Amino acid sequence: MRAIDYFDKGAEAHPDRTAILDRGTHCSYRGARASSEKISRAMRAAGLRDEDRAAIYSINDGRVLLCMLGLMRAGAAWVPLNYRNAAAANIEYLNYVAASWLFYHSDFRDDVAALRNRVPTLRNLVCIDAACGDDPSLESFMTQGEDAPDIDWGDAGGNIERLVGLVPTGGTTGPAKGVRVTSLAWGTMLDMASHYWRAGDDVEPVSLCVAPLSHAAGVVAFAMFSLGATNVVMPGFEPLEVLRAIEQHRVTHLFLPPTALYKLLALPEIAKFDYSSLRVFLLAGSPVSPDKLKRAVEIFGPCMCQSYGQTEAPMLLTWLDQKTVAAAAGGEHPERLASCGRATSAVRLAIMDDEGHLLPANQTGEIVARGTLVTPGYYNLPEATAEIRKFGWHHTGDIGYRDEDGFFYIADRKKDMIITGGFNVFSAEVEAGIMALPEVHECAVIGVPDETWGEAVKALVVLEQGSSLDEHAIISHCKVKLGGMKSPKSVEFRDEIPKTPAGKLDRKTLRAPYWKGTDRAVH
């Protein structure tokens, strides 16, 4: 089906249920559908061409979801922009995809002036929250197509090759690449979300949108529409406000990256709120510390779950369900707290070596995938597409293994592997060992040049507020937990660890000072 058809099915089943709720927006499914139809007609009246690139550049705001629905109904392709990016990076990406539409929040009016001047393909700009110069407000824009006819551009097969979006990769190793998201891949993701995230017919779902809607949170919110959920949109991540909102709105669904979970767990007030409404507390975006996940089960109950995906295969390559997580936290197969789950129903996953051979259980290699969830490739980048299609599989770039029961474990990104003394050390494994220390808030492990070892394992550590720990204690702990070869040779304490705009550890920035002046980033 088309992307908008999934929303419409939710709207038809629950027309009077609240669809979107935030400080300035409160609309039912009937109202959200009507608004999306007005946006669609206005875009068509303004000369929208099929698969025109329509970017959204905004802080979290309920109207972002209305814009997503409207542009998808019109037949445009969604281009999410991260407002945390440097303006130059967003300009580069908009030029790369030849964006012609921009829906933006007035907070970014100064940046938009630069976008307008440096992205010549931009033809139509709409300010989401207020009129801004010559750009109409969204409310005003929606009146501009009142006399335009509705156009049904669907086909009997569900438009499976139709472009839903051009979603940027993280861009941590160079300019962001545009992932071509088709109706087939998007529909596969929504179908699986409906299956794996359903909380039961007796539960009226309420989803708390906290992470940026420009990333996975926007995908989750769209998926929750198909379940008839109320999407409660928060302007940003404030840990204490998140806990209050769970209790206030009787939240059933919550998605966060692991780094945000750690901030919740560090709050002294965490035991003061009622979390009994939670059914699906989804962790995704990066591996989670097993020890922190176990504590999360103790605090939030048997609602914790995890999935693994990437922009090229969104959200649901694997699924680690709530019962498995709760059982592991209780001592039944505790190693599964480090797993990202089993392959989901619409994909095949395998482990492959560098020569293209599929590996048996418990052997480490690259995680590869096949299935309708996988992107057709990158926009206008045939060589980069071929790179991730070697040997007839999609290459995730993640290193891991599969156990005999089919559970997958991510060891690291392929490019983040540290080779020390001739041995491979995966950063994520060392990070998980350090994160087991209750005094540690977060950490990053990198390889740095070393005359003896080639590369030495170095840990960058942020301590919990009020905690104390020295380098010797961390290294000694790791030697017991991981062995001497994998243990850090040095520890550096930081006030914070830089993140990418997507909220992941920015290893490129972390590594740069140590490799400055070298002709390559391996030693």
335/449 same-domain check: no
Residue with tokens 């204690």: 473
Residue 20 maps to a domain: no
Q: What is the CATH number of the domain that holds 443?
A: 3.30.300.30
**Residue 504 has what pLDDT?**
81
**Residue 515 has what pLDDT?**
85
Residue 231 maps to a domain: no
Percent residues over pLDDT 70 in the chain: 98
Confidence of residue 411 (pLDDT cuts 50, 70, 90): confident
Question: 131-171 pLDDT, tens per residue?
Answer: 999 999 999 999 998 888 778 888 888 889 999 999 998 65
Q: Which two tokens stand for residue 74?
A: 């019109």
Given a cut of 60, whether residue 69 has pLDDT beyond it is yes
269/393 same-domain check: yes
CB atoms within 10 A of CB 427: 23
Given a cut of 50, whether residue 10 has pLDDT beyond it is yes
Confidence of residue 520 (pLDDT cuts 50, 70, 90): low
246/394 same-domain check: yes
Confidence of residue 506 (pLDDT cuts 50, 70, 90): confident
Q: Which two tokens stand for residue 366?
A: 């690259």
43/163 same-domain check: yes
**Residue 523 has what pLDDT?**
52
Average pLDDT in the 57-73 region? Answer: 95
Confidence of residue 464 (pLDDT cuts 50, 70, 90): very high
What is the chain's length?
523
250/383 same-domain check: yes
409/425 same-domain check: no
**Residue 233 has what pLDDT?**
96
Confidence of residue 45 (pLDDT cuts 50, 70, 90): very high
Confidence of residue 216 (pLDDT cuts 50, 70, 90): confident
Range of the domain at 433: 421-515
Question: 469-504 pLDDT, tens per residue?
Answer: 999 999 999 998 888 888 999 999 999 999 887 778
Q: How far apart are CA 150 and CA 147, in angstroms?
A: 9
Given a cut of 70, whether residue 340 has pLDDT beyond it is yes
Q: Which of 393, 413, 433 is the last residue of a domain?
A: 413
Weakest mean pLDDT among 153-167, 371-385, 420-434? 420-434
Q: Is 462 within 8 Å of 440 (Cβ atoms)?
A: yes
| Most confidently modeled range among 21-25, 153-157, 305-309, 482-486 | 305-309
DSSP string, 139-180: HHHTTTTTTSPP-----TT--TTSEEEEEEP--TTSSPPEEE
**Residue 8 has what pLDDT?**
95
Residue 453 maps to a domain: yes
359/393 same-domain check: yes
Given a cut of 50, whether residue 172 has pLDDT beyond it is no
Which has more confidence, 251 or 517?
Answer: 251
Average pLDDT in the 350-364 region? Answer: 96
406/438 same-domain check: no
Q: Which two tokens stand for residue 389?
A: 């299609």
Given a cut of 80, whether residue 452 has pLDDT beyond it is no
Average pLDDT in the 8-19 region? Answer: 95
Give the CA distances from residue 325 to residues 292, 306, 336, 431, 460, in Å, rounded to whole numbers and listed in that order: 12, 9, 7, 20, 28
Residue 227 maps to a domain: no
Q: What is the CATH number of the domain that holds 107?
A: 3.40.50.980
Which has more confidence, 377 or 517?
Answer: 377
Q: Is residue 302 classed exposed, middle or buried when 0-12, 13-18 and 19+ CB atoms within 10 A define those classes? A: middle
125/34 same-domain check: yes
Q: How far apart are CA 2 and CA 8, in angstroms?
A: 10
305/434 same-domain check: no
Average pLDDT in the 363-369 region? Answer: 95
Which residue(s) pair with 446 in the sheet?
458
Residue 442 maps to a domain: yes
Q: What is the CATH number of the domain that holds 369?
A: 3.40.50.12780
Average pLDDT in the 342-351 region? Answer: 96
306/393 same-domain check: yes
Give the CA distances from residue 351 to residues 3, 316, 427, in Å, rounded to whole numbers and listed in that order: 31, 17, 19
Q: How far apart are CA 47 and CA 401, in angstroms?
A: 50
Question: 91-122 pLDDT, tens per residue?
Answer: 999 999 999 999 999 999 999 999 999 999 99
Given a cut of 60, whether residue 124 has pLDDT beyond it is yes
Q: Which of 392, 413, 434 is the last residue of a domain?
A: 413
Q: Which of 153, 182, 211 is the last residue of a domain?
A: 182
Given a cut of 80, whether residue 24 has pLDDT beyond it is no
Residue 6 maps to a domain: no
Given a cut of 60, whether residue 379 has pLDDT beyond it is yes
380/439 same-domain check: no
When the pLDDT of each residue in the chain is averaged and rounded to a whole number, the result is 91
Count of domains forming the chain? 3
Residue 38 maps to a domain: yes
SS (H, E, C) 314-360: EEEEEEECHHHHHHHHCCCCHHHHHCCEEECCCEEEEEECCCCCECC
Residue 64 maps to a domain: yes
